[in-house]
Amino acid sequence: MFDRLRAYFKTDRDLKPEYERRIKELEGIIGTDIDNPFIYIRALRHRSILADDNYSSTDSYERLEFLGDAVLDLIVTEVIFDLFPEKNEGFLTKLRAKLVKGDTLAMYARNLNLSELMLLGERVQGQGIEKSKSVLADVFEALVGALYVDVGYEPTSTFVRMVIERYVNFDEIIDTLDNYKSLLLEFAQAHQMEIPTYTVISEEGPGHDKTFGVEVYVDEKPVAQGKGKSKKEAEQKAARRALEKFH
C-alpha cells in the first residue's frame, strides 16, 4: 500500500521557490526533514487554486484529508486508551469526539500556524478563507494524511501525540463531558440558535429538602424540564432532556 501511495505523489519536478519557505516551516512544525515536499504542498493546496494553475480535481488537499481523518481517529483512540485505563467505552467515545471535532482540529491548525502556509486561488485571497474553522480542520487532517503516506504510522503518531500534549487540557475537556448545559450550549451555537436560558418553575418541599423544577428555553422557546435537589441539578437534567429531543 505504501509503495503505491508514495508512487502516486512522486514527481521529478523542481520545487517552486515560493514553496520552499512553506516546506522549511513545515519541517519545523513536524520536527523532521522532508524528503518528498510535493505531498505536503498538496496537503496545503485549497481547491480554489485548482482552476488557476490547471490542476486536476484531485490535486487539492481533499484526498489527503480523507486519509488523515481515518489515521487521526486511530491515533487519538490509542492515546486516550493508554491515558485512561480505568475509563469505560462511553467515556472514551465522548472524549475522542471532543479531540477530533472540527473546532479542536482548527485549534491545532491555528496554533501550528498552518493558515499562513496554505495555497489559495487568486479569487479567494483576502477573504479570510484560510482562517475558517472548517478549512483549518481540513488542512490539519491533510497534513496528518501526508505524514502517514510519506513516513508511515509511527512518526505520524509521534507528531499527533506531540500536538495533543502541547495543546489539549484534558482536565478542562473532561469537566465538560457530562456537563449537559455545556453540551447544549455547544449544540445551540453550532446551529446558530440563541443561548439557552433556564427558569425555575417550581420549588417543592421544606427548606432543608427542597426539589426544584427548571425549564430550559432555546431560541426563546421552552424545550424541556428537569427536577433536582438543587437548581444546578435541575438545570443539568433539563439540558439533558433538551439534547435528547434535539437528537
Render 223-244 in DSSP notation, one character per residue. Answer: EEEEEESSHHHHHHHHHHHHHH
Sign of CA dihedral 157, 163, 166, 171: negative
Residue with cell 486511530: 74
The rounded distance, in Å, linking the Cα atoms of 122 and 126 is 9
Q: Which of 130, 141, 150, 235 is catalytic?
A: 141
Q: Show the cell assigned to 63.
A: 484526498
Q: Which of 65, 69, 130, 215 is catalytic?
A: 69
Sign of CA dihedral 115, 119, 121, 123: positive
52 is catalytic: no
* SS3 category, 29: helix
Starting at the earlier edge strand, list the strands of the sheet with 221-228: 197-204, 211-218, 221-228
141 is catalytic: yes
DSSP code of 142? H
Alpha-carbon distances, residue 78 vs 89, 153, 159 (angstroms): 13, 12, 14
Q: Which residues are catalytically annotated?
A: 69, 141
